[in-house]
A and B are shown apart, each in its own frame.
Chain A
Amino acid sequence: MATAETNGKGRLSSALSSRILMRTIKTLFSVLVTMLGLLLVTFVIGRVMPIDPVLSVVGESATRETYDAARAAMGLDKPIVVQFLIYIWDVMHGDFGNSLLTARPVAQDIARVFPATLELATLGTIFGVLLGVPLGVVAAVKRGTWIDQLARVVALVGYSMPIFWLGLMGLLLFYGVLGWVGGPGRVGIFYVDVVPPVTGMILIDSILDQNWTVLKNAISHIILPSSILGYYSLAYISRMTRSFMLEQLSAEYITTARVKGLPERTVIWRHAFRNIKVQLITVIALSYANLLEGSVLTEIIFSWPGIGSYITNALLSADMNAVLGGTVVVGLVFVLLNIFSELLYKFFDPRAAE
């Protein structure tokens, strides 16, 4: 800033940039503290769990020497604080250790399973938003009519039907009987490993490879599980949208707008809807984050090798490296989504940007 042009404007922008800098540092700091706390909690839970990770490596019939050797090799003979510090150090270097279950580096495993979940969750959320938001708005506007009742029933069914059952029924009907969609798995058996993995998301990889047959097959496989996940977020998003909208529609400024003779469409979309955007972003981000954790049941029914079943499997076998690695990644996703939705607030609501 030490240029010749040190006028008032320069000072102002310098103040602004230092404020942005401060805010970035603050955000980074809070991310760091959150992540550290998350690591600490999962680490401690992992260590107090009544499952013996050594036993799950060497088996029940191992001799004392084998057991001790394995324990030392896993670093479990060191004090717990040292174990934690070593772990933090490794994580900072992108090393989550090896998974006991898959005999591979956890980072490599996550790179394999997370894109599968990301693909599914993203499509599910798009589905939920595209249908859920309009449904919620319409239900609020036509409050008490048959449309509102229908929306309520749709949401209620979405909430209350066990996903396990819904998934099976979907498979039975659309795959088993009608043959409209592909069965369990990300692609048909013949298309496994056909396109080179770039992003790990088959939809994107097949587009990059311009392999339209694989793309078509992958779509036929993802459409059912993603719409079932989408149905869940639809149920949640449409209910929330409806209640946000109702609150706005009863506000005085809406009455004013209507009295002014504005067309109803403008009143609803320009005035009322604009005001719920910020709240809606939080709801959508949360529901997206929930799907990104991986829906274990959906993954099991559809043989979808995602992060949900990866972490669950690891947990059941006391594969702590994998559990911690998976938790850190999921935690990071939550934090990033939070930051992202905060940025969006500022975009939609100037007051949030101060």
Chain B
Amino acid sequence: MKPFTNLLASVALGLAVGVTGMPAAAETPANMLVIANRIDDITTLDPAESFEFAGADVSRNVYSKLVNFDPLNLDAGYAPDLAASWTVSEDGKTITFTMREGVKFHSGNPVTAKDAEFSLRRAVILNKTPSFILTQFGFTPENVEQTIVAKGNTLTITTDKKYATSFVLNCLTATIGGIVDMKEVMAHEVDGDMGNAWLKTNTAGSGAYKLASWKPNESVTLVANPDFYLGAPAMERVIVRHVQESASQRLLLENGDIDVARNLNPEDVKGITGKPGVAIDSELRGRLMYLSLNQKHPVLSKPEVRTAIKYLIDYKGMQDSFLNGQYTIHENFLPATYLGAIDDQPYSLNVEKAKELLASAGVTNLEITAGVREAQERIEIAQSLQNTFAQAGIKLNLTVGTGKQILSKYRARELEMYIGAWGPDYPDPQTNAGTFAYNPDNSDEAKATGLLAWRNAWDTAGLTKEVEAAVVEGDRDVRKAMYEKIQREFLKSSPFAIMFQKIEQTGRSDKVKNLNLGGAVTAVSYWPVTK
């Protein structure tokens, strides 16, 4: 059907162009940014609760945080935002933030340390989905009155033990770190919900934009905050329109009715590449595609076999064919753009080498069963693996099931091999290091189902200690070097073969400048955009 429809499409288009010639494209106003995106994942705009991509896009532009990423220099890591500066205590457990003076909420209320105290305490007390990002530092609804305290224009937070300052601060850049307007929010409190019901559909921030309207599955409209402390944004209105279909987004972009199309599929990207007035950006995202080997398996736990499998993956072949424009080769557990990420790629398809390794381990007639979710790209990866494994005499069987079926087997350590994806939860290396390379108790009784290392029954060969050390290292650069070392060891000895990192392609009018989509660490920023 597909080639046929494509043929019909091009015939129709060709005819139409031939008959009429292309009409002049319309244009969006110079002070307005119009974006097509899939926004049906927004279920709440409350920063204490929001945990979806499109929600983070809104939140990043509406709520300032204590510390934040500079959209024009993401690699620099966290930088001062509402906190002008901070100091860390000797024992590394207490961070004292000094608030920036003269910043106002959209309501006109001044932003104070009290608001910051309220916002963080509120996120802990409400205990919604993303609250673990804060509570992993030992904050509980019971102790927040002692651990998160405002005094004058300073805010002091005290963690239960020493953590790397960069770990704590990276977590505060997540959506949950958004500082809300205490007076405004509490004025809308219902039944002790700390304004949660109201904040789901309204905003009370101090960021570059304020929310004009959110119509579910339809649009989000933001208007500029002229008093934004970094200066009034050039785009006075930002309209994000829900357009589900890639083809519709492409047409809108080509016709000049939108400035940015966020969800173009590879075919549509190919179709508009090189068209006058349109530019394509590739953006790295945090999601990784990997395979892992259960270390309970007598053969798969042999080091030579683990390495052989890593040589039996056609990384480049997959990247350049069915994953083109969606995934790029990445062999380490920290996604590119994360603190400590490295781009070493020691493995590539090498059947001879794999055969040697298998022979040296005395392995013949190996048959493995892998669990994979019924999603197109994953099945295609699995099929490619079947093919390359077979070249070295390994028979790969696939168990295909729904996400829930496969995941529950994986969590019960019942899969011999798993082919799947992992997405980081917050913009700090610990989010991945703490699951891929950390497993303090490898026994079945530990039931550490949240840890990928445990799910594969891998004792991490000493990396657990190193991950623990990296989490408490105060110096950002030293910490960075520690993660680099952990990953190099991980590449060699782990039963994980990380294969790809997600990329997203965005089409935009070439008039739109400085649009930063946030990479793997944060969300889109509209305030630096000019047209």
Residues of B within 8 A of A300 (CB): 244-245
What's the minimum C-beta distance from B434 to chain A, rounded to whole angstroms?
13
B213: CB under 8 A from chain A?
Answer: yes
**Total number of A residues with any Cβ neighbor in B under 8 Å:** 43
Q: Which residues of A contact B (CB under 8 A)?
A: 50, 58-59, 61-63, 65-66, 99-104, 109, 112, 165, 168-169, 171-173, 175-179, 183-185, 188-190, 192-193, 300-303, 305, 309-310, 313
Residue of A63, A66, A101, A301 touching B245 (CB-CB under 8 A): A301
Q: CB distance A183 to B201 under 8 Å?
A: no
What's the minimum C-beta distance from B59 to chain A, rounded to whole angstroms?
14
Instruction: Using CB atoms, name the residue of chain A closest to B4.
Output: A165
Instruction: Enumerate B12-53 residues with CB–CB distance to A below 8 Å.
Output: 12-13, 16-17, 20, 22-23, 28-29, 32, 34, 40, 43-44, 51
Residues of A within 8 A of B255 (CB): 175-176, 179, 183
- How far is it, in angstroms, between the C-alpha of A59 and the C-alpha of B32 when the chains are bound? 35
Chief secondary structure at chain B's binding surface: mixed
What's the minimum C-beta distance from B43 to chain A, rounded to whole angstroms?
5
Q: CB distance A303 to B9 under 8 Å?
A: no
- How far is it, in angstroms, between the C-alpha of A302 and the C-alpha of B216 when the chains are bound? 16
What's the minimum C-beta distance from B210 to chain A, rounded to whole angstroms?
16
B5: CB under 8 A from chain A?
Answer: yes
- How far is it, in angstroms, between the C-alpha of A112 and the C-alpha of B197 when the chains are bound? 20
Instruction: Enumerate B235-274 residues with CB–CB distance to A below 8 Å.
Output: 239, 241-245, 247-248, 251-252, 254-255, 257-258
Given contacts A61-B129, A173-B12, contact A305 B215 (CB under 8 A): yes
Residues of B within 8 A of A62 (CB): 129
Residue of A61, A63, A305 touching B217 (CB-CB under 8 A): A305
- How far is it, in angstroms, between the C-alpha of A109 and the C-alpha of B12 when the chains are bound? 38
Residues of B within 8 A of A193 (CB): 213, 221
What are 26 A-B pairs with beta-carbon distances under 8 A? Answer: A58-B128, A61-B425, A63-B127, A102-B43, A102-B216, A103-B201, A104-B216, A172-B12, A172-B251, A175-B251, A175-B255, A176-B251, A177-B23, A178-B16, A178-B23, A183-B255, A184-B245, A184-B248, A188-B257, A189-B32, A190-B29, A301-B245, A303-B243, A309-B217, A313-B40, A313-B217
- How far is it, in angstroms, between the C-alpha of A157 and the C-alpha of B215 when the chains are bound? 36
Residue of A50, A102, A189 touching B28 (CB-CB under 8 A): A189
Q: CB distance B248 to A171 under 8 Å?
A: yes
Q: CB distance A184 to B28 under 8 Å?
A: no
Interface residues on B, range: 35 or more
Instruction: Using CB atoms, name the residue of chain B closest to A302.
Output: B248
Q: CB distance A103 to B43 under 8 Å?
A: yes
Query: Across chains A and B, which 7 residue pairs bring their CB atoms closest together, nearest first?
Result: A59-B129, A102-B216, A103-B200, A179-B23, A177-B16, A305-B218, A300-B244
Residues of B within 8 A of A190 (CB): 29
Residues of B within 8 A of A61 (CB): 129, 132, 425, 450
Instruction: Using CB atoms, name the residue of chain A closest to B196.
Output: A103
- How far is it, in angstroms, between the C-alpha of A179 and the C-alpha of B218 when the chains are bound? 23
Residues of B within 8 A of A309 (CB): 217, 244
Q: CB distance A177 to B215 under 8 Å?
A: no
Instruction: Using CB atoms, name the residue of chain A closest to B25.
Output: A179
Residues of A within 8 A of B16 (CB): 172-173, 177-178
What's the minimum C-beta distance from A217 to chain B, rounded to whole angstroms?
12
What's the minimum C-beta distance from A172 to chain B, rounded to whole angstroms?
6
Q: CB distance B127 to A177 under 8 Å?
A: no
B361: CB under 8 A from chain A?
Answer: no
What's the minimum C-beta distance from A268 to chain B, rounded to whole angstroms?
37
Given contacts A61-B129, A169-B12, A176-B251, contact A189 B241 (CB under 8 A): yes
Q: CB distance B243 to A59 under 8 Å?
A: no
What's the minimum C-beta distance from A340 to chain B, rounded to whole angstroms?
30
- How far is it, in angstroms, between the C-alpha of A179 and the C-alpha of B258 when the chains are bound? 15
Instruction: Using CB atoms, name the residue of chain A closest to B17.
Output: A177
Instruction: Using CB atoms, name the residue of chain B closest to A100.
Output: B43
Q: CB distance A178 to B20 under 8 Å?
A: yes
- How far is it, in angstroms, between the C-alpha of A171 and the C-alpha of B132 when the chains are bound? 46
- How far is it, in angstroms, between the C-alpha of A169 and the C-alpha of B8 when the chains are bound? 9
What's the minimum C-beta distance from B246 to chain A, rounded to whole angstroms?
10
- How far is it, in angstroms, between the C-alpha of A303 and the C-alpha of B245 when the chains are bound? 8
B61: CB under 8 A from chain A?
Answer: no
B219: CB under 8 A from chain A?
Answer: yes
Given contacts A101-B43, A189-B34, A301-B248, contact A176 B254 (CB under 8 A): yes
Instruction: Using CB atoms, name the residue of chain A closest to B212.
Output: A193
